[in-house]
């Protein structure tokens, strides 16, 4: 995927769901993985020509694993002209050493979001951008359906009233395969996750299941995505917000 295509998909999502307003200061959640770095590139590019003015601050929650090296991310943010803030935590030690969690993902996600939200407040950010893409939308729906017995997925825009902040997901129209193509084409400095649970989760199980379903039934992933748009109330496009792709 070329950079212009990434801009196109991202802007359409932002326009459809009115994700960005004049003067927004947006925290860009950076894990170091392919998705968050592609989102950083997209938002940095759009910032130059989007019709409303907004600012960005990249934020990484460091879980405390010794083998995480963020030097290349720091250099990338400097190259893109985006302030970069690293939040140091002991979440990894708490999860895997102190508590010895057998199913660590839910608690880790909760603690990670808490650390990120606190950093946002300190940095003066009213919105945070998460790098969930189209495949994540469908995988979350399948996770909910299989393990919770309900048809649900996260929303493109979520207002957190207790924190008085808004979560936006600008990559919701971008397929994971296109993200992979983008980071390979432009040699994006992806940092591998040091988490010992990486690749051994329920989400990874559903990820592989979805790949198999789509191989055996071409187009099923796209049909599932449209089912989420049609059936989950939070996915209804606000009246008057839908626009053509640039």
What angle do the packed helices 202-216 and 134-148 form, to 10 degrees? 110
Distances (CA, A) of 43 to 4, 10, 70, 97, 243: 12, 8, 20, 37, 18
Q: Which are the contacts of 156, defined by CB distance < 8 A and separation ≥ 6?
A: 13, 16, 17, 19, 168, 169, 172, 234, 235
Tell me, what's the pLDDT at 77? 96
**Is 82 among the domain residues?**
yes
**Is 163 among the domain residues?**
yes
**Is 246 among the domain residues?**
no
**Is 240 among the domain residues?**
no
**Is 241 among the domain residues?**
no
**Is 243 among the domain residues?**
no
Q: What is the pTM of this model?
A: 0.91
**For the chain, how many structural domains are there in total?**
1
Model confidence pLDDT, tens digit, residues 219-233: 999 999 999 999 888
Model confidence pLDDT, tens digit, residues 35-89: 999 999 999 999 999 999 999 999 999 988 877 889 999 999 999 999 999 999 9
Of the chain, the percentage scoring pLDDT greater than 90 comes to: 70
* Mean pLDDT (whole number) for 126-130: 96
CATH number at residue 200: 3.40.50.620
Lowest mean pLDDT among 45-54, 125-134, 158-167: 158-167
Tell me, what's the pLDDT at 103? 78
3-state secondary structure string across 88-127: ECCHHHHHHHHCCCCCCHHHHHHHHHHHHHHHHHHHCCCE
Lowest mean pLDDT among 33-37, 75-79, 189-193, 199-203: 199-203
**Is 203 among the domain residues?**
yes
**Is 168 among the domain residues?**
yes
The residue segments making up the domain with residue 96 are 3-235
């Amino acid at each position: 995927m070329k950079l212009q295509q990434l801009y196109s998909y991202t802007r359409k999502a932002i326009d459809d769901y009115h994700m960005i307003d004049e003067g927004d200061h947006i925290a860009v959640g950076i894990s170091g993985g392919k998705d968050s770095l592609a989102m950083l590139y997209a938002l940095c590019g759009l910032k130059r020509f989007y019709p409303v003015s907004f600012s960005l601050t990249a934020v990484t929650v460091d879980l405390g694993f010794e083998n995480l090296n963020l030097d290349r991310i720091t250099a990338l943010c400097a190259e893109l002209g985006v302030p970069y803030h690293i939040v140091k935590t002991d979440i990894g030690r708490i999860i895997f050493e102190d508590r010895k969690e057998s199913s660590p993902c839910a608690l880790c996600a909760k603690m990670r979001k808490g650390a990120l939200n606190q950093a946002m407040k300190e940095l003066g950010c009213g919105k945070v951008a998460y790098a969930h893409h189209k495949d994540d939308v469908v995988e979350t729906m399948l996770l909910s359906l299989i393990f919770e017995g309900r048809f649900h997925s996260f929303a493109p825009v979520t207002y957190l009233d207790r924190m008085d902040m808004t979560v936006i997901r600008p990559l919701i129209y971008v397929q994971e395969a296109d993200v992979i193509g983008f980071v390979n084409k432009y040699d994006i400095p992806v940092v591998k996750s040091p988490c010992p649970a990486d690749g051994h989760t329920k989400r990874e199980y559903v990820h592989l299941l979805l790949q198999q379903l789509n191989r055996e039934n071409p187009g099923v992933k796209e049909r599932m995505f449209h089912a989420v748009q049609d059936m989950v109330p939070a996915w209804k496009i606000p009246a008057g917000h839908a626009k053509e792709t640039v």
